[in-house]
């Protein structure tokens, strides 16, 4: 629903405005946060282009956006933007095809400015929570005496520290930023595209304007890194910081979605027997690599659910009339793996799959959203980083938390991973003594994460602290 600016009348002394980046892993994190805040009694306004608001609502898992009366969506107009297909052959796996979408978001600035002006005239305080790459929202908030902005960081704190450490020339002993015994390699090189770096640099000009920072993480997994972050003279910047994750629901009743084929299939499998394979919504894999994955999974002799779909376009609802890529599997493959593997070619309920007792592993690109979902459910990860913060998250998961194995080291990112290497990683995670220890550790971490969001847990306490702060008299 498009709410016109002049119609906004708020009875609450504090209102919250969410400004997400229009990519699935960013849209859903701020929408989950919207739920948490709105259910505590504060009105929340989630703003964006109509197509991205529609996407966020249609793909949310664990709750229904229509059931929360004080969560409102505002469809702002943006001009048409090109909507290119992803390039599965690209050696740099960063989703450069989404750059036109990100560029179009600058047109949200004018309607956001008008909306904030109206809100500021009708309430005591306007709180803007924006994605780190939508920091123009912080400048718009700065124009109003009763508005303040907070930056939401959608990556791990470890990734933030690791890449800052790299920018300092990787000083010995981790430079008081990361553990000194880290052996894994991550780098900005090939993580991002030049166009995206330009976007990031433009966004960073406003990064001193937010008065605080929010992180989708929690003390059980990144408490020590949060302390390092807040104490660092450059990174901390004397701002308040809150670790409030995981934002996704952590208690799932799979009985509520018995109709989905994935859940029905999982119901017939043994506990911890299935590895779930998905590389997120922004990664496009080459035909050659898909063949290797297919044979690797088959030869592993482990049960699996494989989400085999191309990366999202910037507008997932446009371009339906165009000829879409049809991802082919080897001849006879689906017949051979029938009963052992399930191929899913459309949207899959990832949270519910990870929450299911039959799921015992997750082969993942290690996007932070997927990491948090998997770890919160106690599911260990076979890490296969593709771009962005994912190489850093791989190190955090495999070396620091010891909740996963590595399928492909980042230094080999331009190489096709062989079926043999994939088979080895799957067997190691799902059918070895080492895998049992990793699963035990992941289960312990999952329990600790779920406790963090329980009553009086660390994340619940920090969210309460944030809400008290923004509701101060």
- The C-alpha torsion from 203 through 206 and 210 to 211, rounded to 10°, is 140
Token pair recorded at residue 151? 């930056």
Q: Are 419 and 354 in the same domain?
A: yes
Asked whether residue 155 falls in the same domain as residue 17, the answer is yes
Nearest Cα residue to 154 out of 49, 48, 32, 276: 32
Find the catalytic residue in 26, 45, 52, 130.
Answer: 26
At 234 the pLDDT is 64
416/268 same-domain check: yes
Alpha-carbon distance of 404 to 379, in angstroms, equals: 9
26 included as an active-site residue: yes
The enclosing domain of 412 has a CATH number of 3.40.50.2000
Question: Which of these, 425, 429, 447, 445, lies nearest to 437 by C-alpha position?
Answer: 429
| CA gap 182, 399 in Å, rounded | 7
Strands 381-383 and 303-307: unpaired
Shared domain check, 381 and 304: yes
* H/E element, 433: helix 433-452
Say yes or no: 77 and 170 in one domain: yes
From 45, 52, 131, 312, active-site residue: 131
Which has the closest alpha carbon to 313: 59, 105, 22, 33?
22
Kindly state whether residues 238 and 314 are assigned to the same domain: no
Are 17 and 105 in the same domain?
yes
- Domains held by the chain: number: 2
The helix (H) or strand (E) run that includes residue 343 is: strand 341-344
- From the number of C-beta atoms within 10 Å of its C-beta (0-12, 13-18, 19+), residue 181 rates as exposed
Among 11, 67, 3, 1, smallest CA distance to 38 is for 67
Kind of pairing between the strands at 125-131 and 147-153: parallel
* 45 is known as an active-site residue: no
**Domain enclosing residue 323, as ranges:** 254-450
Q: Is 103 helix (H, G, I), strand (E, B) or coil?
A: helix
Whether residues 105 and 209 fall in one domain: yes
CB atoms within 10 A of CB 394: 29
Rounded CA-CA distance 387/235 in Å is 23
**Closest by Cα among 284, 280, 281 to 89:** 284
In angstroms, the CA 239 to CA 161 distance is 16
Same domain, residue pair 144 and 289: no
Residues 82 and 99 in one domain: yes
Contacts of 342 (CB under 8 A, 6+ apart): 261, 262, 265, 304, 305, 306
How is 132-181 classified by DSSP, letter by letter?
TT-THHHHHHHTSTTEEEEEEE-S-HHHHHHHHHHHTT--GGGGGTS-TT
Q: What is the pLDDT of residue 237?
A: 65
Three-state SS for 51? helix
CA 110 to chain CA centroid, nearest Å: 27
Domain identity same for 95 and 217 = yes
* Nearest-angstrom CA–CA distance, 280 and 24: 9
| pLDDT of 62 | 86
Q: pLDDT tens digits for the chain (473 residues)?
A: 444 444 555 568 999 999 999 999 999 999 999 999 999 999 999 999 999 999 999 999 888 888 888 999 999 999 999 999 999 999 999 999 999 999 898 899 999 999 999 999 999 999 999 999 999 999 999 999 999 999 999 999 999 898 888 878 888 777 778 887 776 777 777 788 888 888 888 888 888 899 999 999 999 999 999 998 877 766 656 789 999 999 999 987 655 556 799 999 999 999 999 999 999 999 999 999 999 999 999 999 999 999 999 999 999 998 765 667 889 999 999 999 999 999 999 989 999 999 999 999 999 999 999 999 999 999 999 999 999 999 999 999 999 999 999 999 999 999 999 999 999 999 999 999 999 999 999 999 999 999 999 999 999 999 999 999 999 97
> What are the start-end ranges of the E strands in 154-253?
212-215, 240-243
The pTM is what?
A: 0.93
Same domain for 40 and 154, yes or no, is: yes
* 8 Å CB contact between 19 and 129: yes
């Amino acid at each position: 629903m498009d709410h016109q600016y002049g119609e906004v009348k708020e009875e609450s002394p504090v209102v919250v405005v969410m400004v997400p980046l229009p990519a699935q892993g960013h849209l859903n994190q701020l929408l989950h946060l919207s739920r948490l805040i709105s259910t505590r009694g504060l009105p929340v306004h989630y703003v964006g282009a109509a197509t991205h608001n529609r996407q966020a609502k249609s793909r949310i898992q664990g709750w229904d956006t229509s059931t929360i009366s004080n969560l409102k969506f505002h469809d702002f107009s943006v001009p048409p933007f090109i909507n290119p297909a992803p390039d599965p052959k690209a050696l740099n796996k960063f989703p450069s095809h989404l750059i036109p979408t990100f560029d179009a978001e600058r047109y949200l600035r004018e309607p956001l400015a008008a909306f904030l002006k109206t809100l500021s005239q009708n309430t005591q305080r306007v709180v803007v929570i924006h994605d780190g790459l939508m920091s123009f929202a912080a400048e718009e908030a700065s124009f109003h005496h009763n508005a303040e902005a907070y930056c939401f960081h959608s990556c791990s704190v470890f990734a933030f520290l690791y890449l800052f450490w790299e920018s300092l020339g990787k000083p010995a002993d981790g430079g008081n930023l990361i553990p000194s015994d880290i052996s894994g390699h991550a780098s900005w090189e090939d993580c991002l595209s030049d166009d995206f770096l330009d976007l990031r640099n433009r966004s960073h000009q406003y990064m001193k304007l937010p008065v605080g920072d929010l992180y989708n993480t929690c003390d059980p997994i990144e408490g020590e890194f949060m302390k390092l972050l807040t104490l660092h003279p450059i990174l901390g910047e004397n701002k308040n910081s809150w670790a409030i994750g995981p934002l996704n629901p952590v208690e799932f009743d799979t009985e509520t979605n018995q109709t989905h084929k994935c859940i029905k299939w999982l119901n017939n499998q043994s506990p911890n027997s299935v590895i779930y394979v998905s590389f997120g919504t922004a990664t496009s894999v080459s035909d050659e690599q898909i063949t290797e994955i297919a044979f690797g999974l088959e030869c592993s002799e482990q049960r699996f659910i494989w989400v085999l779909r191309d990366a999202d376009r910037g507008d997932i609802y446009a371009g339906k009339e165009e000829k879409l890529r049809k991802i082919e599997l080897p001849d006879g493959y689906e017949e051979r793996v029938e009963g052992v593997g399930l191929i899913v070619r459309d949207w899959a309920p990832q949270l519910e799959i990870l929450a299911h007792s039959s799921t015992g592993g997750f082969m993942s690109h290690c996007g932070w959203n997927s990491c948090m979902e998997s770890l919160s459910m106690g599911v260990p990860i076979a890490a296969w980083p593709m771009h962005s913060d994912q190489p850093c998250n791989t190190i955090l998961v495999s070396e620091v938390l010891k909740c996963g194995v590595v399928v492909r080291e980042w230094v080999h990112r331009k190489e096709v991973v062989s079926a043999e290497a994939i088979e080895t990683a799957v067997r190691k995670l799902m059918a070895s003594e080492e895998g049992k220890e990793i699963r035990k550790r992941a289960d312990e971490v999952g329990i600790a994460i779920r406790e963090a969001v329980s009553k009086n847990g660390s994340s619940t306490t920090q969210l309460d602290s944030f809400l008290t702060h923004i509701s101060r008299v």
